[in-house]
A and B are shown apart, each in its own frame.
Chain A
Amino acid sequence: MFARRLIDNEALESMSSKTNMSAFRVTDQLRPYLSTLMGTGGFRALISRALALAATEVSWLRTVQVHADGSLEGVEQAHAKLGSDEFSEGRVVLLAHLLELMAAFIGEILTLRLVREVWPKVPLNDLDFGNKGKK
């Protein structure tokens, strides 16, 4: 699935560049690009919707809040309490829903174009935007 690959890809890039990795780094990385495009309010609305959808599948995401600038609150606290698989699942499901929403609104081609603005080298095989097979 595309969301998981994006997260794995980002993890590899972060390790090689030895930068600190935030818990929801992919979503954080997308935020300024999407905020430029749709405004902070627009991004906040979209991530809130993605979070609401994701929280129905991954219960711990219910504790996460969206700030006015579209950043997420409560992720680090949850990370400390959860096992890595459980935490990773939440990360993937949220990103999958965000991408799925984007694809539903503007189509896969434009969604991919925006994603590749941030990660130009991300491989484009297996373009399943949905959260099927998220684990």
Chain B
Amino acid sequence: MKTPNKIEKLTSLKKVVSKPAKVTIRKLPTGVRGLDEILGGGMPEFSFNIIGGAPGCGKTTMAHQIVFANATHDKPALYFTVLGEPVLKMLRYQQQFSFFDESKLNKDIRFINLSDVALDKGLNAVLEEIIKQVTAFDPRIVVLDSFRTLARQVKSDAADVEVQAFVHRLAQFLTSWQATTFLVGEYVEEEIRDNPLFTMVDGIFWLTQVTERNSVVRKLQIIKLRGQATVPGLHTVRIGNLGLQAFSRTLGLVGSKTKPARRRHLSIGVPELDKMMGGGILEGDSLLIAGPSGTGKSALATQFIAEGIRSGEPGIMAVFEERPDGYKQRAGTFGLHLKAAEEKGMLETLYLRPLDLSVDETMQEILDAIKRVGAKRLVIDSLVGFEMALAPGFRADFRESLYRMIGALTGAGITILSTVEVEDTFTGLPFSHYAISFLTDDIIRLRYVEIDGQLRKVMVVIKMRGGNHSKDIREYVITDKGVVVIHPRRTDYTGLITGIPQRTGPRKAQENETAPEPKAAS
């Protein structure tokens, strides 16, 4: 290896000096599932933030999760309580959450009540006490709960200035002491405009709670976070045993691996249909099967998953209408043994009919299952059932959220088959009663037609974004093998898609069928 000469050494040194490194803002975990991703990786270290919103939104719970996730013996957390929820009650309720680790109490996490100081001596004394405690314990995280009640307690003529000065001095001190701080307070949205506090803080974590019909929807918005890019918009929040969980609008799929450039055709499990699709569905495509009840949408979905399992591609079936046992039983009658696949970890069936679920939560369940089994194929049966399982307040977001999830999953190379029930009309061929076809690459339409005095079934590939496909309308039946495409293209009928086709050729001789039941005597 060549040894650098003096000039080269100087040049390299010059480079170092002329390009000083930018400060790297370390990100701390929040301990709130989904929130780190929304924040762009975590909370900026040494930031001074406010967790605001109306009562009952989960502000204190969020603060506790942050504290429990970060407090250590060497770098503890100080939780100052002021004129808000009594500490005994706070501890009583917070210990119900799984994140609450009682071994950290009064060691890694110290609760200090400043109510008396605030009531008897005012803001300056509160600041002095905070300085005293922070100097003594050198905390990583400091929480002041409730800051709103503390600020309200100031009743002098110059109250606003006094509170502003307090916040300024507090922020200056805590940042200098390398603490990441959270002021917790009950505020209404209008205050963000007028209250200077919101200008002074680095981050605003805003929680809201909206009631729509009988359901309650909690949302989180990161209104501001200096120093890093957050995921914009309102994110669903749920409070459960784990504490607060946030469901990012991007569903944590930002930066997931992209679709391979050369994509394979995957078999759907119906050989003739594969041919109609030019060899099968393209890997990473989203396929919509639309048709009325009883046309075999779920059967096709099952065959699609079973074919994947046969080819070594694990799958997820998200079922919203039919119970999984019924699903597996029917698959069994087609000779598809889903239970064995489940036992081998190749398949997971999600039966999702909860009340009040948000679309993002439901999608998170699906995404978790996909990660668990390493799924390559996903069935959503059906989109109508999916929408119905959501709380009314979330239905408005359904298509948008679905679009985001399908886009991200197919982008990651997962092949999706969704079903949607549509009513047969006799004048047209609708794909679905709501405009969701924009989020699919491929559409197959199933429908009933009346032929020779029988209600038969036909299918047609309407669209394939990634390639050419057959334009034939093909008749199919559902047998003990599942969906089987039978007749080649019928040229002796016209108007098949209307459901009541007209015969164009000569009528073939037919055997008279025996009536299933004798006619009633007239």
- Interface residues, chain A, with chain B CB atoms under 8 Å away: 35-42, 46, 102, 105-107, 109-110, 113-114, 117
Query: Which residue of chain A has the shortest Cβ distance to B82 in the bound complex?
Result: A39
Contact partner of A41 (CB less than 8 A), chosen from B91, B105, B112, B115, is: B115
- A105 with B89: in contact, given A110-B95, A110-B105, A113-B105 (CB under 8 Å)? yes
Query: Which residue of chain A has the shortest Cβ distance to B113 in the bound complex?
Result: A39
Structural contact, A107 and B87, CB atoms closer than 8 A: no
In the bound complex, how far is the Cα of B216 from the Cα of A100, in angstroms?
37
Structural contact, B91 and A42, CB atoms closer than 8 A: no
- Interface residues, chain B, with chain A CB atoms under 8 Å away: 81, 86-89, 91-92, 95, 102-103, 105-106, 111-116, 119
In the bound complex, how far is the Cα of B110 from the Cα of A117, in angstroms?
12
Structural contact, A38 and B86, CB atoms closer than 8 A: yes
Structural contact, A106 and B95, CB atoms closer than 8 A: yes
**How many whole Å from B413's CB to the nearest CB in chain A?**
48
In the bound complex, how far is the Cα of B88 from the Cα of A106, in angstroms?
6
In the bound complex, how far is the Cα of B112 from the Cα of A46, in angstroms?
17
Query: Which residue of chain A has the shortest Cβ distance to B89 in the bound complex?
Result: A105
- A110 with B91: in contact, given A38-B86, A42-B86, A117-B106 (CB under 8 Å)? yes
Residues of B contacting A109 with CB < 8 Å? 102
Residues of B contacting A110 with CB < 8 Å? 91, 95, 102, 105
Residues of A contacting B113 with CB < 8 Å? 35-39, 42
**How many whole Å from B135's CB to the nearest CB in chain A?**
16
Contact partner of A39 (CB less than 8 A), chosen from B92, B95, B103, B116, is: B116
Contact partner of B88 (CB less than 8 A), chosen from A36, A40, A105, A117, is: A105
Residues of A contacting B106 with CB < 8 Å? 37, 113-114, 117
Contact partner of B116 (CB less than 8 A), chosen from A41, A105, A113, is: A41
In the bound complex, how far is the Cα of B88 from the Cα of A105, in angstroms?
6
**How many whole Å from A104's CB to the nearest CB in chain B?**
9
The interface centre, meaning the residue of A38, A40, A109 with most chain B CB atoms within 10 A of its CB, is A38
Query: Which residue of chain B has the shortest Cβ distance to A112 in the bound complex?
Result: B102
Contact partner of B114 (CB less than 8 A), chosen from A39, A102, A113, is: A39
In the bound complex, how far is the Cα of B92 from the Cα of A108, in angstroms?
11
Structural contact, B88 and A42, CB atoms closer than 8 A: yes
In the bound complex, how far is the Cα of B91 from the Cα of A105, in angstroms?
8
Contact partner of A105 (CB less than 8 A), chosen from B92, B112, B114, is: B92
Query: Which residue of chain B has the shortest Cβ distance to A69 in the bound complex?
Result: B116
Residues of B contacting A105 with CB < 8 Å? 88-89, 91-92
Query: Which residue of chain B has the shortest Cβ distance to A102 in the bound complex?
Result: B88
Structural contact, A36 and B95, CB atoms closer than 8 A: no
In the bound complex, how far is the Cα of B102 from the Cα of A36, in angstroms?
17
Query: Which residue of chain A has the shortest Cβ distance to B105 in the bound complex?
Result: A113
**How many whole Å from B164's CB to the nearest CB in chain A?**
26
In the bound complex, how far is the Cα of B95 from the Cα of A35, in angstroms?
20
Query: Which residue of chain B has the shortest Cβ distance to A105 in the bound complex?
Result: B88
Question: 6 more A-B contacts (CB under 8 A) besides A113-B102, A117-B106?
Answer: A39-B114, A40-B116, A41-B115, A41-B116, A41-B119, A42-B86
Query: Which residue of chain A has the shortest Cβ distance to B86 in the bound complex?
Result: A42
Contact partner of A38 (CB less than 8 A), chosen from B87, B102, B119, is: B87
Contact partner of B87 (CB less than 8 A), chosen from A37, A40, A113, A117, is: A37
Query: Which residue of chain A has the shortest Cβ distance to B100 in the bound complex?
Result: A110
Query: Which residue of chain B has the shortest Cβ distance to A44 in the bound complex?
Result: B116
**How many whole Å from A47's CB to the nearest CB in chain B?**
13
The 6 closest A-B pairs by CB, nearest first: A39-B113, A39-B115, A105-B88, A106-B91, A38-B87, A40-B116
The interface centre, meaning the residue of B95, B113, B119 with most chain A CB atoms within 10 A of its CB, is B113
Residues of B contacting A106 with CB < 8 Å? 88, 91-92, 95
In the bound complex, how far is the Cα of B111 from the Cα of A13, in angstroms?
28
Residues of B contacting A41 with CB < 8 Å? 115-116, 119
Structural contact, A37 and B111, CB atoms closer than 8 A: yes
Structural contact, A38 and B105, CB atoms closer than 8 A: no
The interface centre, meaning the residue of A37, A42, A107 with most chain B CB atoms within 10 A of its CB, is A37
Residues of A contacting B81 with CB < 8 Å? 39
In the bound complex, how far is the Cα of B92 from the Cα of A105, in angstroms?
6
